[in-house]
Amino acid sequence: MTIGNHEMDHDEQNDFFEAIERVNRAGSALRLIFGALVAMAAAGLSVAVWVWTVNEVQADHGETLKVLTPRVEALETRAVRFDAAPPPSQAQFHEIDKRLDRMEQTAVTLREQTALILEAVKNLESRP
């Protein structure tokens, strides 16, 4: 083998090829290191985007909570004021029972009246 005008002997060729091989291995290692750096940069960028997205969503939820908190407090106040009524007294139970009896009696009366009306209609229809 010759480099330029210089004839190389066997030892020089071996040294030359070993040097080229070392350069190739170093290039492969550098490519591997560069690939790892690119992968780490991509991972870091994706984590940064994820953190930014989480912060934005959290800020939106915080604003929504600021709007909803007074409404929830108003509903809780209403529940305490209106839903926590005292239990009915014995007199109120008695009054409700009387109303129920009257409604049942009215329903029975209506059924009887409806039966009488139907019977009268059937009698009228059966006449020639």
The domain segmentation of the chain, as residue ranges, is 89-128
Say if CB 8 and CB 16 are below 8 A apart: yes
User: Which of the four pLDDT bands, split at 50, 70 and 90, describes residue 27?
Assistant: confident
Is the pLDDT assigned to residue 2 strictly greater than 60? Answer: no
Non-local CB neighbours of 13 within 8 Å, separated by 6+ positions: 1
Going from the C-alpha of 70 to that of each of 53, 77, 78, 84, 120, the distances in angstroms are 27, 10, 12, 21, 65
| pTM for the full predicted model | 0.40
Say if CB 2 and CB 8 are below 8 A apart: yes
Say if CB 8 and CB 1 are below 8 A apart: yes
Amino acid 81: pLDDT: 65
